């Protein structure tokens, strides 16, 4: 079992990263080390998501560093300053639609940013004889989307061939290959995980589940791409992060693990479930919300179906999910209904103004 002391979490102000930091500091007594959160605070990063933890653990077990993973000098300095022994690399541009509209940032952050981190780690962890320490770890967070699109049956396993089809997934696939290349070529101790669609608190409200929850509450149109019959596999963010934590501790160096929810839903069916749930909790008329469903032009290259075979992490590392879909969706809806100021801060531009005053212009 690895003993992790100084964990550099990249993208810790984003959806999955901030939930990961919460999990470690609030729920994992086995973790006694320090987290350094490196985040550029792009439109998707929200440092307010961790304001309470910064108050509780700030300066001792939690430090925030505002910066870009592509900035080699800055990243090198962080490795030195904190004696980083572990990297958990979440930072990425993550929204497929944005990658279709403007792919360049995706290639910069997801490919060049990952390369910069890997090379900085290799340099920082190199020993006098040129070999790399074996008490360190670079864990890379990736996606099921690198495997492409499935037909009606089957599931992606760790040995499925890569077949990315959007600029987002192509960039993530490139970063996965770089991670493996750094392991095979330089002996960098790495692990890698590919996960299906996450849902839960703190997700930026452009992704399907939070967007639909908020639009239902606000009586806005509910845009469904194409025929609405695309299928995604949904996993609660905390279950995903427990999988990451399990890999950090006990995952075999050089191995990749798929993490999934074994929980496939057609988008349109999921939307009807959300309409019922949100309407019940918010005291709204579900039929009125159903009337706002709007079938819109399909996403170009829209992957039809994702499904993950996660038997390897279950069998080899003993990971299991704790949160069923009904419970997870209820928790998620409750969170968005209770945390309107988090959403309003983003939507009103108030949060952006605060970041610019405190951290300077955002990218």
Q: Which residue's CB atom is positioned nearest to ligand NAD? A: 14
Q: Is 169 in the site for ligand NAD (CB under 6 A)?
A: no
Q: Is 267 in the site for ligand TYD (CB under 6 A)?
A: yes
Question: Which CB sits closer to ligand TYD, 103 or 223?
Answer: 223
Q: Residue 17 CB, nearest distance to ligand NAD (Å)?
A: 5
Q: Among 93, 144, 176, 239, which one carries the catalytic annotation?
A: 144
In sequence order, the β-bridge partners of residue 195 are 143, 259
Helix, strand, coil abundance in the chain, percent, nearest 5: 45, 15, 35
Q: Which of 77, 211, 214, 282 binds ligand TYD (CB under 6 A)?
A: 211
Q: Which does 167 bind (CB under 5 to 8 A by kind): ligand NAD, ligand TYD, none?
A: none
The DSSP 8-state label assigned to residue 23 in this structure reads: I
Q: Is 69 in the site for ligand NAD (CB under 6 A)?
A: yes
Q: Is 355 in the site for ligand TYD (CB under 6 A)?
A: no
Q: Among 82, 168, 182, 306, which one carries the catalytic annotation?
A: 168
Rounded Cα gap, residues 101 and 117, in angstroms: 26
Give, as ranges, the residues between 82 and 121 that touch ligand TYD (CB under 6 A). Answer: 96
Say if residues 333 and 195 touch (Cβ distance below 8 Å): no
Q: Is 17 in the site for ligand NAD (CB under 6 A)?
A: yes
Q: Which does 41 bind (CB under 5 to 8 A by kind): ligand TYD, ligand NAD, none?
A: ligand NAD
The DSSP 8-state label assigned to residue 127 in this structure reads: -
Residue that is written with structure tokens 């009103």 in the block: 348
Contact segment (CB under 6 A) with ligand TYD among 106-114, 133-141, 220-228, 332-340 equals 220-228
Q: What is the CA radius of gyration of the chain?
A: 20
* Local structure of 65: helix, strand or coil: strand
Q: What is the 3-state secondary structure (H, E, C) of 12-55?
A: CCCHHHHHHHHHHHHHCCCCCCEEEEEECCCCCCCHHHHHHHHH
Q: Which of 31, 115, 204, 336 binds ligand NAD (CB under 6 A)?
A: 204
Question: Which CB sits closer to ligand NAD, 69 or 170?
Answer: 69
C-alpha closest to that of 62 among 25, 30, 90 = 25
Q: Is 6 in the site for ligand NAD (CB under 6 A)?
A: no
Burial of 225 (0-12, 13-18, 19+ CB in 10 A): middle
Q: Among 39, 85, 145, 158, which one carries the catalytic annotation?
A: 145
Q: Is 132 in the site for ligand NAD (CB under 6 A)?
A: no
Rounded Cα gap, residues 184 and 101, in angstroms: 35
Give the x/- contact pattern for ligand TYD in 309-348, rule: CB under 6 A. Answer: ----------------------------------------
Give the catalytic positions in this structure. 144-145, 168
Residues of this chain that bind ligand NAD (CB under 6 A): 10-11, 13-17, 39-42, 44-45, 68-70, 90-94, 109, 113, 141, 143, 172, 195, 197-198, 204
């Amino acid at each position: 079992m690895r003993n992790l002391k100084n964990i550099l979490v990249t993208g810790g102000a984003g959806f999955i990263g901030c939930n990961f930091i919460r999990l470690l500091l609030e729920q994992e007594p086995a973790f006694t080390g320090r987290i350094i959160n490196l985040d550029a605070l792009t439109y998707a990063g929200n440092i307010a998501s961790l304001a309470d933890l910064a108050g509780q653990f700030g300066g001792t077990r939690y430090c925030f560093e505002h910066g870009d993973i592509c900035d080699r000098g800055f990243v090198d300095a962080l490795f030195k300053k904190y004696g980083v022994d572990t990297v958990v690399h979440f930072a990425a541009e993550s929204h497929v639609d944005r990658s279709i509209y403007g792919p360049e940032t995706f290639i910069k952050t997801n490919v060049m940013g990952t390369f910069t981190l890997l090379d900085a780690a290799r340099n920082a962890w190199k020993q006098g004889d040129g070999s790399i320490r074996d008490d360190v770890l670079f864990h890379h967070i990736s996606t099921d989307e690198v495997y492409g699109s499935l037909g009606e049956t089957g599931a992606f396993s760790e040995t499925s061939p890569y077949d990315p089809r959007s600029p987002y997934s192509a960039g993530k696939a490139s970063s996965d290959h770089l991670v493996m290349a750094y392991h095979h070529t330089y002996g960098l101790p790495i692990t890698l995980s590919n996960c299906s669609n996450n849902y839960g608190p703190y997700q930026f409200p452009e992704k399907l589940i939070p967007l639909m929850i908020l639009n239902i509450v606000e009586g806005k149109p509910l845009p469904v791409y194409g025929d609405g019959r695309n299928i995604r596999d949904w996993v609660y963010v905390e279950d995903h992060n427990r999988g990451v934590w399990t890999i950090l501790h006990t995952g075999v160096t050089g191995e990749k693990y798929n993490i999934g929810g074994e929980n496939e839903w057609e988008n349109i069916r999921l939307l009807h479930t959300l309409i019922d749930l949100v309407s019940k909790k918010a005291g709204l008329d579900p039929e009125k919300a159903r009337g706002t469903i709007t079938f819109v032009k399909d996403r170009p290259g829209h992957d039809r179906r994702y499904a993950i075979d996660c038997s390897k992490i279950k069998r080899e590392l003993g990971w299991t999910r704790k949160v069923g879909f009904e419970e997870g969706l209820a928790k998620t809806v409750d969170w968005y209904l209770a945390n309107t100021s988090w959403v309003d801060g983003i939507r009103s531009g108030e949060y952006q103004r605060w970041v610019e005053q405190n951290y300077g212009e955002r990218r």
